[in-house]
Structure 1
């Protein structure tokens, strides 16, 4: 039988691993059955028949689909409505909220980012950081909030105390790790920036107002997302803590990424 218990951790990858291998195991058992009845040999025709047999067992895929459906619903919730009711998502967006249309950023015509960017933003985060890390930090942040559940505590209601929550050292550390991991993907800065521009524009939701994510938008967004990482790298004791968590090679890469962003900001300011 095919082992369905690796990787050992209960995680996003583990759940999908188990679901997929449950289906594959059924297929393998069908082939084994055919082989035993035909002297240990299986023909191409018999393999096709085994696949057809699986198609008739609609309930076979119910368990696998339930796992996928649950995770897809979680993703949709974060992308569309969940930001203001989802502490982790809200904290991630808080890094560039000042760039979004309205309030200080002004209108789209004045260069603000459309709020339509939220959906592709979360897609980028998932692709660059990975669901395992995101789910782990999401859980840790909820644990931090629960630990401050007393009525007199300022963290008791994160929907009213976002600034305080974002400044909580344990929370800030976790958010910084997310963006540090994301920044590592910008080793080849120009190539990755072009990729980001394309991905965001390809995934903007359709609407009455057509908005385009430009290179100028992108540079300002990256500056905002990695601002705290840049500050950490400037303070020796803080950068030493980052080395302890990520390794000296990754931190050296982060320094080069920040130089590339700073140079890009300077180019756009001069133009």
Structure 2
């Protein structure tokens, strides 16, 4: 199924939320009017309507809280859609896709899930750039962009799930994960460094009352991020055929050493 363009998805989300709010308010008022009319023999006088208006006004704080939460949800959704709408390098998207489920988001039940704020993305990409170096990261960008062009053939929007299933793309992702993992041989020093880089380059919050306004990357959150980010590499290390394919591109790779690094990141 072709994914819905971000602009169209944003309109649909706003429309659905507005409809739900309108229906909730109309239903509440209608039910209350029916209830009061039944008490008054089926009709309401001006005095009764005025009294109901006073009652409705007293419920304004409750409605305000509902609308405020709706606006906060809308702001969060727009931030998420903005990420998908911006033309970012394919490599960056594929890296974030590994831990996207950890990003803070409100579920259908209204409960916030996730441990990582999108505010960390600028620092995350800077850390990758510093670990890989400009030439290596540029090579990953070029390879991923070429793969997207080959697979999608100009079709938009890009189907990232389809891209992710491509064998060549999987090799690119594994090569990048291998490069990242090898920087965590001294895990304590690299963890402190990664956290400092990320927290000193956090994007500003959507607004001062945003749920992640005071968020910062912590060691446990980074641990979860790295486990997801490097999950493909962990599977390759555990599989003989996958490891052989990786080792052909990285003849100096030490399987036991890499397995130890990944184990320490768990």
Deviation at 1:145, TM superposition (A): 2.5
Q: What's the secondary structure of 1:119's corresponding residue?
A: helix
In 2, the alpha carbon distance for the partners of 1:220 and 1:92 equals 14
Aligned to 1:35: none
Deviations 1:201-228 (A, max 9, x none): 1221343312111111011001001100
Distance 1:228 1:109 in 2: 27
Aligned match of 1:198 in 171, 184, 196? 196
- Distance in 2 between the 1:83 and 1:244 partners? 37
Q: Structure 1 pair 93/130, CA: closer, same or farther in 2 (3 Å)?
A: same
> How many positions carry a matched residue from both structures?
178
CA distance in 2 between partners of 1:230 and 1:223 (Å): 9
Q: Is 1:220 aligned to residue 191 of structure 2?
A: no
> What are the equivalent positions in structure 2 for 1:82-231 lying under 5 Å apart?
84-86=86-88, 87-102=90-105, 111-150=114-153, 156-157=155-156, 159-207=157-205, 208=208, 209-231=213-235
SS of residue paired to 2:265: helix
Instruction: Decide whether aligned partners of structure 1 residues 94 and 176 sit closer, same or farther in structure 2, where only a CA change above 3 A counts.
Output: same
Higher relative contact order (CA 8 A, sep 6+): 2
Q: Which has the larger radius of gyration?
A: 2
Distance 1:239 1:81, change over 3 A: same
Q: Cα distance, 1:112 vs. partner?
A: 2.2
TM-score between both structures, scaled by the size of structure 2: 0.60
Is the 2:151–2:163 Cα contact (8 Å) retained in structure 1? no
Match of 2:248 among 244, 247, 253: 244
Q: 2:263 aligns with which of 256, 259, 266?
A: 259
Q: Quote the residue 2:47 is aligned against.
A: none
Q: What is the alpha-carbon distance in structure 2 between the residues aligned to residue 105 and residue 175 of structure 1?
A: 31
CA shift in 2, pair 1:110/1:166, >3 Å:
closer
CA distance in structure 1 between the partners assigned to 2:165 and 2:149 by the alignment: 16
Contact 1:111–1:217 (8 Å) recurs in 2: no
Q: CA, structure 1 residues 111+101, in 2 after alignment: closer, same or farther (shift >3 Å)?
A: closer
Q: Is the 8 A contact 2:181 2:261 kept in 1?
A: yes
Structure 1 contact 180–229 (Cα < 8 Å) conserved: yes
Shift of 1:102: 1.1
> Which of 210, 220, 233 in structure 1 is aligned with 2:237?
233
SS across alignment from 1:186: coil
How does the TM-score come out when normalised to structure 1?
A: 0.59
CA contact (8 A) 1:116 1:204 kept: yes
* CA contact 2:163–2:169 (8 Å) conserved in 1: yes
Structure 1 portions without partners, runs of 5+: 1-79, 263-271
